Amino acid sequence: MQRYQALVIGLGAMGAATVYQLAKAGVTVAGIDRHHPPHTFGSSHGDTRITRLSVGEGAQYVPIVRESHRIWRELEAESGESLFEQSGVLVLTSSPDFDPHDASDFTLRTLKLAQTYGIEHTLLNATQIRQRFPQFAHVLDSAIGYFEPEGGFLRPERCIDVQLRLAEQRGATLFKGETVTGISSDEQGVTVTTNLRTLQADKLVISAGNWAGDLLGSPFDQLLSVYRQQLFWFEADAELVGASPTFILTHGAGDSNVNYGFAALPGEGSLKVATAQYHTVSTPDTLDRTVSPAQGQAMYEQQVQGRLAGVGPTVVKSAVCAYTVTPDHHFIIDEHPALQHTLVASPCSGHGFKHSAALGKAFAQWCQHGSSELDLSSFSLQRFAIPST
């Protein structure tokens, strides 16, 4: 039976970063994935992921994303690949319900965090938004915008591919197309069984994405919910290509009135727009991975028409991807309550990619030293009252 210092289950955003950092630190490591990452069955596909230093989701994320930005550049230098496009991020609210004192407004939260942490930004009024970003010509007079020049987007598939390649070059073993079916532990370490082999290790990191609830059982299956999301690339005017920032637009109350999108990229002629839905729960096995023309039309009418100038109704491309969300929408990163020597990283509730490079480093440190330089205590399991089965 093969034995390693560390094993990693799931080689998506989190797992690829962990395997890379472990291999870089000279740890003998093997990674296992049921698919062939980067792939289109989990949470890490669709060409682009937003990254921003002022993480409106919470102050605890700021040191993580800062470290990630540093690592993406390090990875670019090592691989020669472009991973992080610093297009700037515009977070804006243009809503008839906008209340400038509403502490829950995402733009205001982002602004406040940037002010607290000294993150470079510009605060824009409606006239300035329209002048600077003509695709937002339709914003209401009450609109406000937060522009962060250091933000932008990541190329998720490339980030995963680069880290896995560099990990292999540094001696990591990757078992792809192989599904983990059993995990056990004792004083000596962990034993992981796949459909093809059994492996042993001193430490185990589990980053199984949408499948984590099924693989880990209680309490994770009660805490993790999978939500199908749709991504659309709409045809965009030539003037928008290369000119548009990555953006998050709040145009009303509730999740269905928030959308986000990316710079129209040279050579693609389209602009990606998406929303987040948290009302219909799914599973990775039953997820409908097709998108109908009616769904594309609904997205255009509700999110694009009258909101994004220069973006037409023709859907150039579409995709389905899934979030796995905890009850408070924050991450779970903690030692497994029953398995010894095992760290669990939840798939991060729809906002984890930007943090994955630094989290992978933190997980590698946990494997080596039992703790990490980054403070991950706010992601502990203990914050949840676990429902009894």
**Cα R_g (the chain), whole angstroms:** 21
| Residue nearest ligand FAD, CB atom distance | 12
Q: Does 229 bind ligand FAD (CB under 6 A)?
A: yes
- State in angstroms the smallest separation of the CB of 51 from ligand FAD: 6
Position among 6, 8, 20, 43 found at the interface with ligand FAD (CB under 6 A): 43
Angle of the 156-169 helix axis to the 356-369 helix axis, nearest 10 = 30
What DSSP line would sit under 284-344, residue for residue?
A: TTT------HHHHHHHIIIIITTTSTTEEEEEEEEEEEEEEE-TTSS--EEE-SSSTTEEE
Q: Does 272 bind ligand FAD (CB under 6 A)?
A: no
Q: Is 354 a catalytic residue?
A: yes
Q: Does 180 bind ligand FAD (CB under 6 A)?
A: yes
Active-site annotation holder among 48, 107, 110, 324: 48
Residue 95: phi and psi, rounded to 5, are -135, 140
Q: Is 367 a catalytic residue?
A: no
Q: Is 49 a catalytic residue?
A: yes
User: Distance between CA 31 and CA 208 in Å, rounded?
Assistant: 11
In what helix (H) or strand (E) does residue 200 lie, and over which residues does it extend? Answer: strand 198-206
- State in angstroms the smallest separation of the CB of 52 from ligand FAD: 9
Position among 215, 332, 343, 362 found at the interface with ligand FAD (CB under 6 A): 215
Q: Does 37 bind ligand FAD (CB under 6 A)?
A: yes
In what helix (H) or strand (E) does residue 29 lie, and over which residues does it extend? Answer: strand 29-33
Position among 12, 151, 245, 310 found at the interface with ligand FAD (CB under 6 A): 12
Active-site annotation holder among 34, 45, 307, 336: 45
Q: Is 159 a catalytic residue?
A: no
Binding segment toward ligand FAD, per CB under 6 A, in 42-50, 78-86, 91-99, 265-273: 42-50
Q: How far is CA 320 from CA 41, 84, 157, 161, 351, in A?
A: 9, 23, 15, 20, 16
In what helix (H) or strand (E) does residue 175 lie, and over which residues does it extend? Answer: strand 173-176
Residue placing its CB nearer to ligand FAD in the complex, 126 or 287: 287
- Hey, which residues between 337 and 366 contact ligand FAD (CB under 6 A)? 347-348, 350-354
Residue placing its CB nearer to ligand FAD in the complex, 98 or 212: 212
The residue assigned the tokens 């094993």 is: 7
User: Distance between CA 362 and CA 373 in Å, rounded?
Assistant: 7
| Spatial strand order in the sheet of 49-51 | 49-51, 152-154, 84-85
Per-residue exposure over 285-311, b if at least 16 CB sit within 10 Å of its own CB, e if not = eebeeebeeebbeebbeebbeebbbbb
- Hey, which residues between 250 and 269 contact ligand FAD (CB under 6 A)? none
Q: Is 45 a catalytic residue?
A: yes
Binding segment toward ligand FAD, per CB under 6 A, in 130-138, 251-259, 308-316, 321-329: 321-329
- Hey, which residues between 46 and 105 contact ligand FAD (CB under 6 A)? 46, 49-50
> Are 349 and 324 in contact, with CB atoms under 8 Å apart?
yes
Give catalytic residue positions.
45, 48-49, 272, 279, 321, 354
User: Which residues of the chain form contacts with ligand FAD (CB under 6 A)?
Assistant: 9-15, 32-35, 37, 42-44, 46, 49-50, 179-180, 207-211, 215, 229, 231, 274, 321-323, 347-348, 350-354
